[in-house]
Amino acid sequence: MGLPQCPCQEPPNRDIRQLSTQSNAVPRRTLPSTMELLDAVTLFLALCLSCLMLLSMWWQMQGRSKMPPGPMPLPLVGNLLHVGTKNVFKALMKLSKKYGPIYTIQLGTRRVVVLCGYRAVKEALLDQGEEFGGRGKQATFDWLFKGYGVAFSNGERARQLRRFSITTLRNFGMGKRSIEERILDEAQYLLGALHDTKGLPFDPTYILSRSVSNVISSVLFGDRFDYEDKEFLSLLYMVLETFRFTSTSWGQLYDMFPGIMNYLPGPQHKSFKLLERLEKYMEKKVKANEETLDPNSPRDFIDCFLIKMHQEKQSPSSEFFLENIVMTALSVFFGGTETVSTTLRYSFLILLKYPEIEEKIHQEIDQVIGRNRSPSIEDRSCMPYTDAVIHECQRFYNILPLGVSRQTTKDTQFCGYNIPQGTEVFALLGSVLKDPEHFERPEAFDPGHFLDDKGQFKKNEAFMPFSIGKRLCCGETLAHMELFLFVTSILQHFRFESPIDRQDLDISAKLVGFANLPRDYKICLIPR
């Protein structure tokens, strides 16, 4: 007697052809076409992007409660499309026409409050200087300084280093007769180098940088460099190339997305190598000074820092240690070299373009100084036109149009807005220097902006190329002295000629980023 067959089992003798026939009777599933797959992927990406957009909008609504208005940022890239990288200052000024003098943008992951015009900048940096006294970000320099040194530090560190730097620079003659003598001595070396050009065309970039840098070098290092010193020329190259990078489109892109671009190929890595070499050079100078230090007879700025460092060695709150001495010395060297030399390059270019301005300066020099003695800083009060031209060069070209970014030190009420602690702030110095409420023809080069009806020099409260308030440039007084003494010394002995038609001279900036840099040009200096 056989076992009953389980109804769930296939009969063992079932015909395979019958199975095949039944199988063919079931409809087959067809694979999706390529177009259907693309449509699905597109829909998925669109949904993801929409979610990110909604998230960004929600973040803006939450994070900007009572903050200044501004364009809505896109996910990841922020307001890159609004700002671009070619001329950030121009783009920010354009946005101010829509959103007003105080507005908010996002650069990559950084939320930034932008201040335009004299009123907004003055109220923030001067009237509320304590709240806006923090240092913001500048990715290229942050890569090296990392919060050390007088220029890029914050809090108690910044206060200690700034107080020391100002006091020490004054002790070495800043604003006094002794620093004037250093400048005039250097002017003699410069005049000799200019005579050696024999009236032939030359690029003034490095010859001016060498002279200006030697003034601050004599304070920092206790001595000047020979103009042909290869190490000195290498230092100037590194400083100039770093400034150039920060003003390029690539430099602006790096400033917005440093976290990503650190891992991508590009010219930023060349800048990093240059900055490393500058750091190593400064470390070498500090070490050499330490080995020969006499605490009773400081020779230069570095010696004074080393003495302070030894005095406060046991103080846990002291900011006088190796990293800060190296980065402070680098900050002073950078600031004392590039900004003044760039202004002089622009001044030469303006005088090439407008010979009638040069002629008026020549007349004033001949009347006040003559040909037989060196200029002095006391002559400035008797030379209003020359002084006005120098001020107008600084105003018209605004070497640092964005300023050096600030940061709020605490939650701040400002012009009816709430700005959280740690918010980055761009106080656009270029917008102040071209504020139509303070300069009648802001887009034109006009020395009359600094002359009254009687032709005497007049101050303008909106003239702030070195910023204002608690972060005012430590070297402002030195810069004013250098500009006046170098310009008058050169024009006392030379007149300018252009190797090309003056009408073809382009006086607009070549690069406008962190710094505003002139185009390359050549000039002929003809002895008077």
Which of 439, 472, 391, 441 has the alpha carbon at shortest distance from 122? 472
* C-alpha pair distances (Å), 317 with each of 87, 157, 313, 470, 524: 42, 9, 10, 21, 55
| Residue closest to 430 by CA, chosen among 467, 385, 460, 455 | 467
Please name which of 467, 426, 515, 520 lies closest in space to residue 243, comparing C-alpha atoms.
515
Burial class (CB in 10 A: 0-12, 13-18, 19+), 491: buried
Specify the 3-state DSSP secondary structure of 222.
Answer: coil
Residues linked to residue 494 through DSSP beta bridges, in sequence order:
527
Residue 176 has a CB neighbour count (10 Å cut-off) of: 14
Task: Tell me the Cα Rg of the chain.
Answer: 31
Q: What is the dihedral of CA 331, 334, 340, 346, to 10 degrees?
A: -140
Nearest Cα residue to 447 out of 505, 506, 389: 389
Please enumerate in sequence order all residues whose Cβ is within 8 A of that of 243, keeping only pairs 6 or more positions apart, or say none: 338, 342, 514, 515, 517
**φ, ψ (nearest 5 deg) of residue 470:** -70, -15
Is residue 473 annotated as involved in ligand binding? yes
Closest CA to 433 of 394, 404, 468, 406: 394
Residue 107 has which token pair? 């650069």
Cα–Cα distance for residue pair 512/87, rounded to 1 Å? 5
Q: Which two tokens mark 330?
A: 């680098």
Nearest to 83 by CA among 515, 512, 443, 444: 512
Give the chain's length.
528
Q: What tokens were used for 459?
A: 């101050």
Q: DSSP letters along 470-499, please?
A: GG--TTHHHHHHHHHHHHHHHHHHEEEE-S
> How far is Cα 343 from Cα 317, in angstroms, rounded to an integer?
39
Dist CA 330 CA 322 (whole Å): 12
**Residue 344: which of 501, 484, 508, 196 has the closest Cα?**
484
Give the DSSP letter of residue 202.
B
Do 114 and 103 meet the contact criterion of CB atoms below 8 Å apart?
yes
Residue 72 neighbours by CB distance under 10 Å:
13
- Detail the residues annotated as belonging to a binding site for heme: 473
Specify binding-site residues.
473
